[in-house]
Structure 1
Amino acid sequence: MPRQFRLPLTAPPCWDRESFASSPTNLEALEGLDAWPAWPDGRMALVGPAGTGKSHLARDWAARTGAVTIEAASTGNAPLDLAALRGRPLLVEDADRRSEGDLVDDETLFHLINMAGVDGGSLLLTGRLAPVAWEAAVPDLRSRLNALTVARVMEPDDIVLEAVLRRAFEAAGIRPTGDLYPYLMARLPRSAAEVLAAVAALDEASIEQGREVNKALALSVLDFGGDDDGED
């Protein structure tokens, strides 16, 4: 069968609050973000596992506040103009992975934290782990990270997991059969990372085999521990 190619989506991702799946697992994060601009010292860290909506919430906050977004793990960047950022809301995404990029080293992060709360400035940092677990070679940065107010997104419940599943299919340009959602939700591990990995595997198999994304494909591609109830 000839190889099939899916055209990439042209619509940008939607980061608004209305499209976010609220649940008890992200209530602390929602309340923490909504407390802005009354954050202690103008700073907050938003942390939680991959795929649980940290970027969604952070980008919504950035849009609402007019914040400058800085991708800490990106490469090929010119140095930040700290003077131009003073007094502004700032979002630093993946601050715990800053060593992978060339934009936010320890000294720069130290200055960004110190700038928060000054002249109306504020700072939102995102990461998978709490700041106390982030690497920091600069002693003064270590103390600043340890003192940050933290809002956590917990491991997802079924409400969030289904939202992650649907967004992952949308991002891949896949329109699965309607009965696939309850089928996968009943079988996939309760982890956003596992859900994202499952969608990636189905996407690859669908393209390689020229097949529709449905229960039969899921049964042939994903390991459900001997489940044989996948035929249409």
Structure 2
Amino acid sequence: MSQIALPLVVRRRGEPARIVLGNANSHVADALQSPGRWPYRTAVLLGGPRSGRSLFARWFAASRQGEAIDDADTLDETELFHRWNRAQERALPLLLTAAAPTWDIALPDLRSRIGAALHLEIGVPDDAMVADLIEAHAAQRGLALGEGALTYLVPRAERGFAGIERLVAEIDRLSLERKAPATMSIWRAALEAIAGPEQRKLDFDPEN
């Protein structure tokens, strides 16, 4: 499992938070290590819920390579424009994060500058990354997944960061509630609990 450590961001038990790297975000990690190559020293990172865009922003700020503004799409546009100008005056790389898939900007001057920046987007995790994310979330919770968990869970898990996190949380909850190890019956129950009706038909056919 490939990860970036975040030494200044703590999640649990005093251990450093980590970004799991894979097909969906390795290009982001590469780009953030070379801010001098960004057009106008500005990059915009788009990502869905729980995709790690805020962790990337914290990692970038902790690396002291530049300034990061998380959830920039929620800020007042005039204030954001002034902050962009100040960063330019100081020759300071600026990373802005926003929710995917689009960021609609009304202020023309800001829109033109953001449009000229490097645009990065966190994509959809493939099977290998889904497996790594499941393992990472389980480790963070101190949850021991039984033998064969990834073989069973990965093909059935939602292909989204929030959904994967929710799945592991549900497995953990059921395991604690039932006071039982996280094995097949709990994996199945967790998947069923978070799946929609159509997904249940696909994932819980008796032949599966």
Shared fold by TM > 0.5? Answer: yes
Q: Deviations over 1:150-192 (max 9, x none)?
A: 0222211122212221222233332222421221113213222
Aligned-pair CA distance for 1:137: 4.5
Is 2:184 the counterpart of 1:206? no
Partner of 1:48: 47
**Structure 2 portions without partners, runs of 5+:** 1-10, 193-199
Contact 1:107 1:138 in 2 (8 A): yes
With 139-148 and 32-41 compared, the bigger mean Cα shift is at: 139-148
- Amino acid aligned to 1:129: A
Aligned counterparts of 1:191 and 1:92: Cα–Cα separation in 2:
24
Aligned-pair CA distance for 1:217: 0.7
The structure with the greater share of residues assigned to strand is 2
**Structure 1 portions without partners, runs of 5+:** 1-7, 68-88, 99-103
The structure with the greater share of residues assigned to helix is 2
Contact 2:157 2:191 in 1 (8 A): no
- Amino acid aligned to 2:88: G
With 54-63 and 146-155 compared, the bigger mean Cα shift is at: 54-63
Is 2:113 the counterpart of 1:144? yes
Contact 2:12 2:140 in 1 (8 A): yes
Contact 1:41 1:116 in 2 (8 A): no
Aligned-pair CA distance for 1:229: 7.8
Q: The residue matched to 1:204 in structure 2 has which SS?
A: helix
2:154 alignment partner, one of 185, 191, 210: 185
- Give the TM-score normalised by the residue count of structure 1: 0.68
Partner of 1:22: 22
Q: Number of matched residues? A: 189
Aligned counterparts of 1:128 and 1:217: Cα–Cα separation in 2:
33
Q: Deviations over 1:27-47 (max 9, x none)?
A: 432332232123211110122
Q: Percent identity?
A: 27
Aligned-pair CA distance for 1:56: 4.0
Aligned-pair CA distance for 1:227: 4.4
Aligned counterparts of 2:79 and 2:147: Cα–Cα separation in 1:
48
- Give the TM-score normalised by the residue count of structure 2: 0.75
- Cα separation, partners in 2 of 1:162 and 1:91, compared to 1, 3 Å: same
Contact 1:94 1:126 in 2 (8 A): yes
Is 2:71 the counterpart of 1:94? yes
CA RMSD of aligned residues (A): 2.7
Is 2:194 the counterpart of 1:226? no
- Cα separation, partners in 2 of 1:51 and 1:178, compared to 1, 3 Å: farther
- Amino acid aligned to 2:204: G
Aligned-pair CA distance for 1:212: 2.2
Partner of 1:118: 89
Q: The residue matched to 2:31 in structure 1 has which SS?
A: helix
Q: Deviations over 1:62-89 (max 9, x none)?
A: 332x26xxxxxxxxxxxxxxxxxxxxx2
